[in-house]
Amino acid sequence: MRIENDVKLDFNDVLIRPKRSTLTSRRSVELERTFTFMHSGRTWTGVPIAAANMDTTGTFEMARALTRHKMITALHKHYTVEELAEFFSEFNAPDYVAYSLGIRDEDFEKLGRVLDAGLGSQFHFVVLDVPNAYLERFIIKVEDLRALCPDHTLIAGNCVTNEITEEILLRGADIVKVGIGSGSACTTRSMTGVGYPQLSAVIECSDAAHGISNPATGVGLVMSDGGAVNPSDAAKAFCGGADFLMSGQFFAGFDQSGGKVVERDGERFKEYYGMSSSAAMQSHYGGVAKHRASEGRDVLLPHKGDVHDFVDELFGSLRSTATYIGALKLKEFSKRATFLMVNNQLNRSLEPYE
């Protein structure tokens, strides 16, 4: 047993210090980024924000909507090959959609059928997603996936420390997904005691990733996954060194989201649940196995309407952050940012009256 005494930080532990800025308008802030990925060699341009590969966010409808903004949707892994074929017959934006799978043999077998059906050219990203990337089996599967999909950009995780970030990249991933227990629909921390404050995880993993490079293409990248509650948390993730941001909560509860719609007392709600929750395991595996415990929430969110309105708000918030720190581009956030450790960051005195 050992104890680390260094303070680790979450998004709500800090504020961003304002700095002198020469920007004259939020319109001039560039949110799109261009990356060349170290293993796939592909070059991609877009806004580096992704809807999580959850039943309630990684939907076909969300992909159609977010593509308009050059954002990525990681489709949930439970679509059938036939459903994917039908969707891709009329959807042609491979740069903004990701295929998702886990490390089970049946997941890889299904991916093989997807590729055999000629659908591999319809998506340029593949997400290898497990809650715990510290398993040796996961590391081996990263290598297997790279061999199976040599030309795809691989996103793999989740982890929260530098040594596994480096290992995942060296085994074939282009982007490492960072975050354990930080998601709003995740109860891993309360059930297992395991986790890592998200901002510190992003800072440490991005530092490790950016030190690994392919001279012919680019460096290793990280995707902050989870912990973003407010638009300001997206700004903090990018300021902390995240190259991409993935969120479930940001994209839950909209017209384009999955989940059943419930009406109570004249108000509409939409279901949102974690992929390790009882609801998810009941839906896909017939219940929670005896050797497992549920590690996710199942909640009803007030219906939020059209996701396009939220995207406009999110983009506006990021542009406003840029004007406060003098960043002309999203790419400059980490170079321009100074974090202040705080014990109270929001004035909530009027919330009871909203």
Provide the annotated active-site residues: 186
Backbone CA torsion sign across 185, 341, 176, 73: positive
Q: CA gyration radius for the chain?
A: 20
Q: What are the tokens at 327?
A: 């960043």
Q: How far separated are the first and last CA of the chain, in Å rounded?
A: 47
Find out whether 224 and 11 touch, Cβ atoms under 8 Å. Answer: no
Question: What is the Cα–Cα distance from 254 to 235, expressed in whole angstroms?
Answer: 22
Question: What is the Cα–Cα distance from 197 to 180, expressed in whole angstroms?
Answer: 9
Q: Write the CA distances from 5 to 14, 77, 343, integer angstroms.
A: 18, 39, 19
**Which residue, chain included where needed, has tokens 């990018």?**
238
Q: Write the CA distances from 340 to 18, 33, 118, 236, integer angstroms.
A: 10, 26, 50, 11
Q: What is the DSSP letter of 142?
A: H
Write out the E strands in 230-330.
244-247, 261-264, 267-273, 298-302
Query: DSSP letter string over 6-27?
Result: S----GGGEEEPP-------GG
Total length of the chain: 354
190-198: long-range contacts, CB 8 A cutoff, minimum separation 24? 191/293, 191/294, 191/295, 192/295, 195/160, 196/8, 196/160, 196/161, 197/8, 197/9, 197/10, 197/13, 198/10, 198/11, 198/224, 198/226, 198/227, 198/237
Question: What is the Cα–Cα distance from 236 to 324, expressed in whole angstroms?
Answer: 13
